[in-house]
Amino acid sequence: MPERFVSLSKPSADDVSLLELADRLLNRGVVLTGEATISVAGVDLIYLGLNVVLTAVQNLKANRATAAPGDNHSA
C-alpha cells in the first residue's frame, strides 16, 4: 500500500483541513468523477469526460420537458 498523507478511515482535523483546502485549490482536472485520460503505450490519446455525458434519464426527460423551443444543448 503506498504511503498516504492522511489516514482516510479516521482523518484528523489537520487532515481534513488539508484535504478541504486541496479540494478548493487544485485544478478540477481529474478530481471530478468521470474524467480520465486513456493512453496507449504511454501516449495520451483520449480525454474522457463522462460527467458531461451521463445524467440520470429522469433529469434528461425533465429538462427536455421544460426546455424552451429555441434551446439547443450541445455536449
Partner 1 sequence: MPLLLQAITTPPDAADLLDGLRGGRLISVMHADLVGWATELPHDDAAFNREDLLEHHRLISNIDRRVAACLPARFPTWFTDTEALSARLRSQKDQLLAQLDQVRGCCELAVTALWTVADEAVEAAPTPGTPGRRYLMERRVAIAGSDSRRARAMRLADELEQTIGAELVRAQRQVCPSATVALSSALLVRRSDSQQLLSRLQRTDQDVRILVNGPWPPYTFADVRSD
Partner 2 sequence: MGDELEELRRELQLLKLPVTLPDRIDVDPEGIEQGLAQLVLTLVEFLRQLLERQAVRRMEGGSLSDEEVERVGLALMKLEEKVHQLADQFGLQPSDLNINLGPLGDLL
Q: Which residues bind partner 1 (CB under 8 A)?
A: 5, 8-9, 11, 13, 16-17, 20-22, 24-28
To the nearest whole angstrom, how small is the minimum distance from the Cβ of residue 72 to partner 2?
26
Under DSSP, is residue 47 helix (H, G, I), strand (E, B) or coil?
A: strand
Question: Around 17, how many Cα atoms within 13 Å sit in the side-chain half-sphere?
Answer: 3
Residue 44: enclosing H or E segment and its boundaries?
Answer: strand 43-49
Contact positions toward partner 2, by CB under 8 A? 1-2, 4-9, 11, 18-19, 22-23, 26, 29-31, 33-42, 44, 48, 50, 54, 56, 58
